[in-house]
Structure 1
Amino acid sequence: MSSTIVIDYGIGNVFSVCNALRAIGCQAELTGDLSAIRGADRVILPGVGAFARAMDALHAEGISDALRDFVGTGRPFLGICIGMQLLMDRSSEFGDTEGLGFVPGTVERISSQSPSGRHLRVPHIGWASLVPSDASAECWRQTALEGVDAADDAVYFVHSYHCRPTASEQRIAHVDYDGLEVTAAIRYENILGLQFHPERSGRVGQNILRRFLTI
């Protein structure tokens, strides 16, 4: 039987993700057990809060090394919110903090000014539609975003920082925040990162999680 692990590392939001998975029929295991992580079929790393605190928690429990081993197997890996940001090389939040380094790039604060000079509220909070990185949404094929209607389907965001992957093609979705492109999803090899919260995004979020379970 396929096993899905949700990483338990003392950072908030893990129970919401587990509840959302149960709602679509997935009995995911919430655990920080290193052997279970290494042997899982799929791993989900959720989280909310500060980047540095989250990294400290992963290192303290030895989970960062287990995640590195898992990613090396090529099996599906999903990072949500802070769990997505932790995948990058480093973050500028409250100084400079080294990340897991699974995806080349940085985490930077969302600009408080739009390209036209208008003031933008940060954190970026609310519902927004995803914009694919190419007009045909070909970049969403064979990912959990396949089937999302970019014109009509909205998802829920709460964040002040976003990912800036080194290779532009690794950003597969963004949102248009008054003309500012804010990274919403990244893909790198077997890794998918979602800045938004699928567990708080209703039917659209459930469908995204359901598709991840079939990859």
Structure 2
Amino acid sequence: MNIVIIDYGAGNIQSIKFAIRRLGFEAVLSHDVEEIKNADRVIFPGVGEASSAMEKLRASGLDQLIPNLKQPVLGICLGMQLMCNSSEEGKTKGLAIFDLDVVKFPKSEKVPQIGWNQISGLGSKLFNKIPDRSHIYLVHSFYAPLGKETIAISEYAVSYSAALRKDNFYGVQFHPEKSSDVGSEILKNFLSLC
């Protein structure tokens, strides 16, 4: 299987690569349009600040490529947020794959939310064999509200989208590569999607 992790200078990509390797697959890091287009699976990671990450995507033309991909695509953390319409972080226009606007947690909450939390309301093959209320690992100050594309929910002051899906596009707010056995199973499920 040809797995490509999009390399645009805004992701913790080595840990994702190692997590894929532990499942018995190899992933390639690439920003090459043709290589990404021809992959069987695409992982769109992201760590950092939304507006500078979008600038990098625009500079490389990846902002035009990603929304038009036809194979299964998994956005992780900031990657998922950039797949939404917009983000309050840096007043950033996103890729508009998911019809949601990313907002900051209420001022009353300590941000970023760092550590383990639970997911519930699991509604996709991405969560095959994952029990409701499983623990996943998160680091984020902004979140996607609940919407019609929500396939998993978590809570931190508010209920929010822990995962999203539209057609061949999937997004997870948490880090599956840091979420122990649950995260490994979710990555395995992503790789086995038809």
Post-superposition, which runs of at least 4 consecutive aligned residues in structure 1 deviate over 3 A?
none
Aligned to 1:68: 67
SS at 2:29 equivalent: strand
- Is the CA contact 2:145–2:159 (under 8 Å) kept in the aligned structure 1? no
Displacement of 1:164 in angstroms is 2.8
What is the total number of aligned residue pairs between the two structures?
Answer: 193
* Alignment partner of 1:169 out of 140, 144, 148: 148
Higher Cα radius of gyration? 1
> How far has the Cα of 1:7 moved from its partner?
0.2
Q: Secondary structure at the match of 1:111?
A: coil
Q: Give the Cα–Cα distance (whole angstroms) in 1 for the partners of residues 63 and 87 of structure 2.
A: 16
Say which of 113, 128, 131 aligns to 1:149.
131
1:83 partner amino acid: G
Superposition map of 1:1-215 within 5 A: 2-70=1-69, 73=70, 75-94=71-90, 96-113=91-108, 120-132=109-121, 137=122, 139-140=123-124, 142=125, 144-151=126-133, 153-164=134-145, 168-177=147-156, 180-215=158-193
Cα deviation for residue 172 of structure 1 reads 1.5
Give the TM-score, by structure 1 length. Answer: 0.85
Name the CA distance, whole Å, in 1 between partners of 2:94 and 2:35. 22
Q: Secondary structure at the match of 2:51?
A: helix
Where structure 1 has 5 or more consecutive residues not aligned to the other structure, the ranges are 114-119
Distance between the aligned counterparts of 2:9 and 2:96, measured in 1?
21
What is the TM-score with the length of structure 2 in the denominator?
0.94
Structure 2 CA distance for aligned equivalents of residues 78 and 112 of structure 1: 30
> Structure 1 vs Structure 2: percent identity of aligned residues?
37
In the aligned structure 2, how far is the partner of 1:213 from the partner of 1:13? 19
Deviations 1:101-146 (A, max 9, x none): 1111211001234xxxxxx2121111011011xxxx4x22x2x212
Q: d(CA) in 2 for partners of 1:68 and 1:177?
A: 29
